[in-house]
């Protein structure tokens, strides 16, 4: 799973990016696998990758940018050290997801897509984790938590140092 990994790493080199591109070029429709590989490695899609991908796939840089910007998963800048995704979909709303989200955002002092000032956590909305029978649901760094109540929320927030 190409997770949203925290950054704080040195800028990726051209050779590192090219190796990830080359490893996927044999696929039919290699664009998304390449972007997932790049984001898994660097926590975001660095601007330097756009031109390299464009050349490798015989596209314009603008076309690659168009693809990257279309999808919610791809970031132009690294996320915080942890990524907390809160489900906003109807099934979770039916069991209090809106109040839970307000609580989390207020306690972290961020809005949707925001990162706490210490860089610890980025909060993202997600529309369904497939945990609709045990909402409200969230995921922390790809690990799902269901039926989130005050105690479970406290555990999750402790996990991100809050």
Residue closer to another protein, measured from CB, 109 or 130: 130
- Binding status of residue 71 toward another protein by CB under 8 A: yes
- Binding status of residue 134 toward another protein by CB under 8 A: yes
- DSSP letter string, 19-78: HHHHTTTTSSS-HHHHHHHHHHHHSS--HHHHHHHHHHHT--HHHHHHHHHHSTT--SS-
Least distance between another protein and beta carbon 117 (Å)? 26
> Distance between CA atoms of 112 and 71, rounded to whole angstroms?
16
- Binding status of residue 46 toward another protein by CB under 8 A: no
Indicate the annotated binding residues.
Answer: 87, 92, 128, 132
Under the rule (CB under 8 A), what is the footprint of another protein? 1-3, 27-33, 35-36, 57, 66-67, 70-74, 89-95, 126-135, 137, 142, 144-147
């Amino acid at each position: 799973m190409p997770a949203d990994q925290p950054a704080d790493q040195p800028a990726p080199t051209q050779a590192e990016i090219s190796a990830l591109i080359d490893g996927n070029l044999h696929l039919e429709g290699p664009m998304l696998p390449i972007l997932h590989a790049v984001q898994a490695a660097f926590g975001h899609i660095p601007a330097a990758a756009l031109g390299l991908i464009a050349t490798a796939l015989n596209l314009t840089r603008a076309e690659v940018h168009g693809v990257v910007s279309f999808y919610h998963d791809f970031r132009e800048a690294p996320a915080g050290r942890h990524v907390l995704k809160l489900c906003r979909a109807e099934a979770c709303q039916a069991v209090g997801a809106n109040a839970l989200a307000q609580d989390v955002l207020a306690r972290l002092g961020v809005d949707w897509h925001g990162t706490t000032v210490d860089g610890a956590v980025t909060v993202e909305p997600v529309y369904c984790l497939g945990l609709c029978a045990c909402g409200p649901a969230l995921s922390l760094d790809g690990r799902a938590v269901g039926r989130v109540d005050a105690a479970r929320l406290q555990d999750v927030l402790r996990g991100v140092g809050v």
